[in-house]
Amino acid sequence: MTISLEHVHKKLEELPRFKLSHLNTPLEPLDRFRQSLFDEGVSVPNRILVKRDDVTGLAFGGNKGRHFEFEIGHILDEGYDTVININHYHSNQARFIAAGCAKAGLKYHIVSTDLVTAPLTGNLLLCKLMGAVIHRSPPEYGSKIAGRIFQDETEAGRKPYILPDDPFADLMGMIGFLETGTELEVQLEEADVDEPVRFWGLTGRSIAGLRLYGKNRGIDWRATAIQYSTGEVSDFQRVTVERSKRVAEMFDLNESLDADDLQVLSAYRGPGYGEPDEGVIEAIRMVGKAEGLILDPNYTGKSMSGLIGELREGRIDPKETIVFIHSGGLPQLFAHADKFVD
C-alpha cells in the first residue's frame, strides 16, 4: 500500500519549523555536460538532470537548509537559546547552523576539530562572520570542550543544546528530503520523465530520504550514494536502515529502507574526507566549463567524479534518467584554491 503526497505534507506540517530556504529549487538539464561525455564515446543516458539545492539561498545555500528548517524549529520549540556543535573545519553543516542561529537569534558555539592551524577560510570564515564563537581543537578533545561550554553557559543562566547529542538531529536530513521527494515527483512529471530515475548523490541522510519517499510512493526511484570519507559501507547501511525505521514510525509510512535499497560506491572517496583526488578536480573543471555549474571538492565533486567514472566504465543503464543532487558546499572550494591553479 502506497502513501499519498497529502499524507507526507500533513506529517511535515505537524513538525516545528523555522523557514530558512528558498523552496522549491529548480530541476535543470545538464545537456552540455552530457554531450561532452558523448563526444568521448561514452554511452550516456537520454537525460542527465541536476536538482539545484545549491540555490536554497541562505549563506551560500545547500541541502542543509532543508535539514535545519526542522532542526532550528525543534531547538526553538524546546526553548533552547544556545547551540553547541562539534564538527570539521570544512563542515557545511557548521556553516548552516551558524546561519540558522543568526537568523533565529540563538547563540552559537562551533568546536572545530581538525586542521587546527589552517587559515580561517571557507565555511569556518563564514561561521565567524555570522557570529559564531569558534573553538579549535584536536578531535580527541572536542567532546570535553563542548561539555565545558555547556557547563559555562548553564551557569550563566542560558539553556544550551549540544547538537550531536539529540536523537532528532539524526533524523532531520531524511525528513527534509521526504519533502524534496514531493517536489521532485511533480518536477519529473512536468519534465515528462517516464523512464526509471536514478538519484545520484552522497552517503548521507538526503539521498536516503529520497529513496524512502519513492519506496513508500511506489515509484521506480533508484539511488546511488558515493562515499566521501573513510569508513565501512556496511556501517552506513546499518545506520541508514535504523534511521529510516524511526522516520517511518514518525510519518506512519508503510516501509523503511533495507540495506540494498541504496547502491553505495566507495571507489571515489579519494584519500579521505576533505581531500580531493585528480578525478574530483577533473569533475569540477569539466562541469564548470560545460555548464557554468560550480561543485565543491569535498562532496559534490566526489559525487560527480563517481558519476563520470561509472558512465565511462559503462556501469549505468542508459535507459535511466540520472538526477544529480547538487547539495551545495561551494565555500569549501576556496580552501582548495591551490589545486585548481595551473
pLDDT digits (tens, 9 = 90+) for 66-114: 999 999 999 999 999 999 999 988 889 999 999 999 999 999 999 999 8
Query: Which residues, in sequence order, are CB contacts of 275 under 8 Å at separation 6+?
Result: none
Q: How far is CA 309 from CA 20, 199, 279, 290, 316, in A?
A: 35, 16, 8, 17, 10
Q: What percent of the chain lies above the pLDDT cut of 70?
A: 100
pLDDT score recorded for residue 188: 98
Can you tell me the distance from the alpha carbon of 110 to that of 277, in angstroms, rounded to the nearest whole number?
A: 28
The predicted structure's pLDDT at residue 89? 84
Give mean pLDDT, residues 61-70.
95
Domains of the chain (ranges, CATH numbers): 5-63+170-340 (3.40.50.1100), 64-166 (3.40.50.1100)
pLDDT of 137 higher than 80: yes
User: In this predicted model, what pLDDT tens digit does every residue of 237-257 receive, in sequence order?
Assistant: 999 999 999 999 999 999 999
Average pLDDT, the chain: 95
- Write the secondary structure of 162-201 as one string of H (helix), E (strand) and C (coil): EHHHCHHHHCHHHHHHHHHHHHHHHHHHHCCCCCCEEEEE
Other CB atoms closer than 10 Å to residue 41's CB: what's the count? 7
Nine-digit cell at 137?
Answer: 581543537
